[in-house]
């Protein structure tokens, strides 16, 4: 019998005779185990959800391309950046971080900004945020930090005490806290925000010279943010407004575009640079390393199926191509492990073979075999080991990047510049923000911090005071704590302050 493609079938291809009436023992009798179509349908439905991403659960994505607009061959040998005008297919996913999959797009939160470049040398993933810095600089703190942004283990409620207790005990977080509580913490949608690598990466050229780099994807739509009141109104009106905005803009043919600006530093300059280039709580001021425009990203195609293309998309900062590699940033080093690990858990051992994740423009010839849900030919009859004398694919030494010099003893050592955590947030407050930005910042912080216990409010006000006395005073007044007590806490070390404000 030739198969008709308009006939409904089971997952195994058997034609279905009736999809409205379960099979019963008599018209009023119980449902029968032998209704295998019903059992298969319910069994699959029961397993429709993959585990939610523990961070970045709510997101939207789109396909497009990246085009090189400037010659960067003296900095990197990456093939997809090798020629002006060269275009590479991309898939980008934007997200909130802390909320669950059903949370509102307008929440105050960093936004994930992840791009997969389907290059001819394999897939390259750039997994950034819409903020140039991060809350912590050591990965041992990451699970604790995320717990404090989620729900209280007893009440299952978001908890301002947890939120501010951790942050006030972790003063390195204040730079990112300032960005988050500026109106950039509530971008109007995904199209009107920038994306930053936040981490420092290493580029290397054909001669083996190395450069530290930072990526800045600048929105050509212009920055547009919500005020706190506008964000609250949007949360009530449409929990999915940014997902909707991205989808509808692309359907209308209004393709969002970002310009890629790079900050590039010869590695030899890092040792004597005034900021630690591996400290993700710091930026490189533009005056020191002026950003250079090298390309553009355009998103021009919506996914046909959200689950297949967006939910199953798997971004992994350890997906590099020759000419681009990791720096010694401790947070980045841990992400090189953690993303792959969580994807193995969330999507399974062969997540890299799913169409959205598989290399599209490069051959894939690995000796990895088997595992759950291996849905290609699993290497067929070819060898599954290397070295082999069967003409199997072998390594190409020219794909390697030069190593980085490493010295010192093993140990648990904090970052070496403990006293500069307030310099850059201070510059943001005093030199970058307008009066209106400062008013909104103070209002946004006080609106949240006022809900925490007094001892925590005092401690966090001392941190803001260290950024700038005017900021600390305004917030102290806004959250109703004693300014003289805040000033006493400011004079203490971080440990003394913690001890003085313990419960």
Task: List residues with catalytic annotation.
Answer: 56, 129
Q: Are 368 and 393 in contact (CB under 8 A)?
A: no
DSSP string, 423-475: HHHHHIIIII--HHHHHHHHHHHHHHHTTS-HHHHHHHHHHHHHH-HHHHHHH
Rounded Cα distance between 358 and 369, Å, is: 15
Structure tokens at 231: 């964000």
Closest distance to ligand NDP from the beta carbon of 468 (Å): 12
DSSP 85: T
User: Which CB atom, from 77 or from 137, has the smaller least distance to ligand NDP?
Assistant: 137
User: Which CB atom, from 131 or from 149, has the smaller least distance to ligand NDP?
Assistant: 131
Closest distance to ligand NDP from the beta carbon of 101 (Å): 27
User: Which CB atom, from 339 or from 422, has the smaller least distance to ligand NDP?
Assistant: 422
**Cβ count within 10 A of residue 479:** 21
Closest distance to ligand NDP from the beta carbon of 489 (Å): 24
Rounded Cα distance between 422 and 424, Å, is: 6
Please identify which residue in the block is written with the tokens 């029961």: 46
User: Which CB atom, from 178 or from 249, has the smaller least distance to ligand NDP?
Assistant: 178
Structural Rg of the chain based on CA atoms: 26
Closest distance to ligand NDP from the beta carbon of 287 (Å): 6
Rounded Cα distance between 350 and 344, Å, is: 8
DSSP 307: I
3-state secondary structure of 51: coil
Contacting residues for 55 by C-beta, under 8 A, at least 6 apart: 97, 98, 146
Closest distance to ligand NDP from the beta carbon of 21 (Å): 59
| Residues engaged in binding ligand NDP (CB under 6 A) | 132, 179, 182, 184, 194, 218, 223, 283-287, 424, 427-428, 432, 437
User: Which CB atom, from 325 or from 425, has the smaller least distance to ligand NDP?
Assistant: 425
- Residue 6's Cβ-side half-sphere holds a number of Cα atoms within 13 Å equal to 0
DSSP string, 327-390: -S-HHHHHHHHHHHHHHHHHH-TTGGGSTTTS-SSS---------TT--S-TTTTS--SSS-SS
Rounded Cα distance between 94 and 59, Å, is: 5
Closest distance to ligand NDP from the beta carbon of 290 (Å): 9
- Partners of residue 129 on adjacent β-strands: 112, 196
DSSP string, 239-295: TTHHHHHHHHHHHTT---EEEEEEEEEEGGGTTTSSS-TT-TT----TTTS--EEEE
Closest distance to ligand NDP from the beta carbon of 184 (Å): 4
User: Which CB atom, from 247 or from 275, has the smaller least distance to ligand NDP?
Assistant: 275
What is the length of the chain? 503
User: Which CB atom, from 129 or from 338, has the smaller least distance to ligand NDP?
Assistant: 129
User: Which CB atom, from 283 or from 310, has the smaller least distance to ligand NDP?
Assistant: 283
Closest distance to ligand NDP from the beta carbon of 131 (Å): 7
Q: What are phi and psi of 332, to 5 degrees?
A: -65, -45
């Amino acid at each position: 019998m030739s198969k008709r493609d308009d006939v409904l079938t089971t997952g195994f291809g058997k034609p279905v005779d009736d999809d409205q009436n379960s099979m019963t023992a008599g018209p009023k009798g119980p449902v029968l185990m032998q209704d295998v179509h019903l059992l298969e349908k319910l069994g699959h439905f029961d397993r429709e959800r993959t585990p939610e991403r523990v961070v970045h659960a709510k997101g939207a994505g789109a396909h497009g391309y990246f085009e090189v607009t400037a010659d960067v061959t003296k900095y990197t040998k990456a093939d997809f950046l090798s020629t002006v005008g060269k275009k590479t297919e991309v898939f980008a996913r934007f997200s909130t971080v802390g909320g669950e999959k059903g949370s509102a797009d307008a929440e105050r939160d960093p936004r994930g900004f992840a791009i997969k470049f389907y290059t001819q040398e394999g897939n390259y993933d750039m997994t950034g945020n819409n903020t140039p810095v991060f809350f912590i600089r050591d990965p041992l703190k990451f699970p604790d930090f995320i717990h404090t942004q989620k729900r209280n283990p007893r009440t299952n409620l978001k908890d301002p005490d947890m939120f501010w207790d951790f942050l006030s005990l972790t003063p390195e977080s204040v730079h990112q806290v300032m960005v988050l509580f500026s109106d950039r913490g509530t971008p109007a949608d995904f199209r009107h925000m920038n994306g930053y690598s936040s981490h420092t990466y290493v580029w290397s050229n054909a001669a083996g010279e190395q450069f530290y780099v930072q990526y800045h994807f600048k929105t050509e739509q212009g920055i547009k943010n919500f005020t706190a009141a506008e964000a609250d109104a949007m949360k009530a009106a449409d929990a999915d407004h940014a997902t909707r905005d991205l989808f509808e803009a692309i359907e209308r043919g209004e393709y969002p575009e970002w310009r890629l600006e790079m900050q590039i530093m010869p590695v030899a300059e890092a040792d004597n640079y005034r900021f630690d280039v591996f400290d993700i709580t710091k930026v490189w001021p533009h005056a020191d390393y002026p950003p250079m425009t090298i390309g553009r990203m355009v998103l021009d195609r919506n996914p046909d199926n959200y689950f297949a293309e967006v939910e199953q998309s798997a971004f992994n900062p350890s997906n590099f191509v020759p000419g681009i590699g990791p720096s010694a940033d401790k947070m980045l080093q841990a992400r090189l492990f953690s993303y792959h690990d969580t994807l193995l858990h969330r999507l399974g051992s062969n997540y890299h073979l799913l169409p959205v994740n598989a290399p599209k423009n490069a051959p894939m010839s690995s000796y990895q075999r088997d595992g759950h849900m291996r849905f290609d030919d699993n290497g067929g009859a070819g060898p599954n080991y290397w070295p082999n004398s069967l003409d199997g694919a072998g390594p190409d030494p020219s794909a390697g990047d030069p190593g980085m010099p490493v010295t010192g003893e093993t140990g648990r050592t904090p970052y070496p510049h403990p006293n500069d955590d307030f310099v850059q947030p201070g510059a943001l407050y005093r030199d970058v923000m307008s009066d209106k930005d400062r008013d909104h910042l103070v209002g946004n912080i006080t609106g949240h911090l006022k809900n925490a216990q007094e001892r925590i409010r005092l401690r966090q006000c001392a941190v803001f005071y260290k950024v700038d006395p005017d900021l600390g005073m305004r917030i102290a007044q806004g959250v109703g704590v004693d300014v003289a007590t805040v000033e006493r806490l400011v004079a203490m070390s971080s440990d003394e302050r913690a001890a003085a404000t313990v419960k």
